[in-house]
Structure 1
Amino acid sequence: MAYQSHHGFRSPIALRLVLFLVGVCLVCYIVGPRLYWHLTGNFAASRASCAQCICDCPLEPIFSMPAELVNYSLADCGKHDPELNEEMEKEIIDLLSEELILLKNVSHDNLLHTKASILEARKTSSQYQKEAEKCNTGVETCEEAREKAEAALIAERKLSELWETRARVQGWKEQRRSYL
């Protein structure tokens, strides 16, 4: 009686089929993008930030390592682009003056933003000051009312004392009951 493992493949044909499928997937994974770029012509556009060069270059073989991957250079890129040529021909002084103008515009925008922030802070501060003045007025009113109530209480105590003294003179005796 032969021992059969439940953990492995039962036939070497199935193992070979799985290995073949893994190999095909790896080849498609490695060669697929290169083949796609070669057929669509988008390899240079996907690697460079400038527009695709207009030139009559010989086609490379599909399975060779592209020169763009080995040593990518932007020397010929934009050679036929008039806007890029105009930009590259500018003098360093022109470029620096443009940069200064841009910096001036940015600082002007920052200054406007700062002024707007200061104005908003002043409005908020003014609003808080008004609220604080209302609160102080309310506290002063309450303090005056408390002082008047305290003076009225003192006067009422004096009056009560006077009446109690008169009542005692008339013979009144204090009777306090204790409630438990």
Structure 2
Amino acid sequence: MAANQAAVVKLALGLMGLCLAGYLLGPPLYWHFREGLAAVSHSSSSPTCPPCLCDCSTQPLLAIPQELSNATFADCVKHDPEVSEDAEKNFSELLTEELKLRETEALESQQRAGMALLEAKKITSQYQKEADKCNSGMETCEEAREKAEASLVAQKKLTALWETRARQKGWKEGAATKTQGSSVQSA
């Protein structure tokens, strides 16, 4: 029975491993396969296009004549190695500038986050100090309350002891108020 369970666990782990490998390796392999198919179908279906016969250097970039369509002019520029190199250089310069700008923004954002974190730590420290003071004051008050309560209990015991002694000597509660009232009248 235990061997059966161990075999089931091994099988389950093996399936999980295969699924994980497929999940991780599947998409890159799919895209490489797809690019390969596109390259094969592109090279076999369309023969190499003849070089462009137009002279792109004589054409102004902004003023395109009506007889040339946008696609024709774009094809002409695409096949010109000098224009392609310039375009690539400009494109790479733009990308470099964009990366530098994003890096600067990321550094600024990181600095702001760092400052906010320091401020939060400072405020947290202040609140912790206040909480410690409050807890200390509460402990002091609690100790004073306990002492006062113990003193009250001791005072009640002493009062009860004196009252017991007074009763043993003949003191009565009602008689004490009459004698106090008569002594006040005689005075």
Taking structure 1 as the reference length, the TM-score comes to 0.48
Specify which structure has the higher proportion of helix: 2
